[in-house]
């Protein structure tokens, strides 16, 4: 009942806000924000510390969203089909990431991990 009231209050909000709110309320481990015309990570995503999978494909990211380093449990990140041209040198700051999808971007090269 309370959840239904919250969603009614959000009815005028965009779909990203509703999806993020739902993930926060239900402690979902996956968030899908594909085809949302995003250029930046919505601030409230950073509070979803339980996220394991995050789909940000088919958006308008020009810069790699390094604020995602703050999601300690993130294992799968889909940034395919965006406008990325480079990946930050400190990509190894992801502590749990095992899958990163970058296909369909405008990447010239990838950073070389130090051995």
Q: pLDDT means per 10 residues in the chain (115 residues)?
A: 40 72 90 96 94 98 96 98 95 95 90 54
68: CB partners within 8 A, 6+ apart? 41, 54, 74, 77, 94
Whether the Cβ atoms of residue 19 and residue 25 lie closer than 8 Å to each other: no
| Closest among 101, 35, 21, 96 to 64, alpha carbons compared | 101
- Domains in the chain (CATH in brackets) are 2-101 (3.80.10.10)
Strand partners, 20: none
- What pTM value is reported for the model? 0.82
CB atoms within 10 A of CB 43: 9
Please report the pLDDT score of residue 81 as a whole number.
98
Cα 36–42–64 angle (5° rounding)? 80
Query: If you search the block for the tokens 């940000």, which residue do you land on?
Result: 56
- Chain-centre distance of CA 58, in angstroms? 12
pLDDT of residue 112: 65
Q: For the chain, percent helix, then strand, then coil, each to nearest 5?
A: 30, 10, 60
């Amino acid at each position: 009942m309370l959840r239904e009231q919250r969603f009614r209050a959000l009815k005028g909000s965009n779909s990203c806000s509703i999806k993020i709110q739902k993930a926060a309320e239900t402690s979902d481990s996956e968030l899908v924000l594909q085809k949302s015309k995003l250029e930046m990570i919505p601030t409230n995503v950073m509070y979803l510390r339980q996220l394991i999978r995050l789909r940000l494909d088919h958006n308008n990211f020009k810069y790699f969203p390094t604020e995602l380093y703050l999601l300690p449990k993130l294992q799968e990140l889909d940034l395919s089909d965006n406008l990325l041209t480079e990946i930050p040198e400190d990509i190894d700051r992801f502590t749990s990431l095992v899958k990163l999808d970058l296909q369909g971007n405008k990447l010239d090269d990838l950073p070389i991990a130090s051995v």
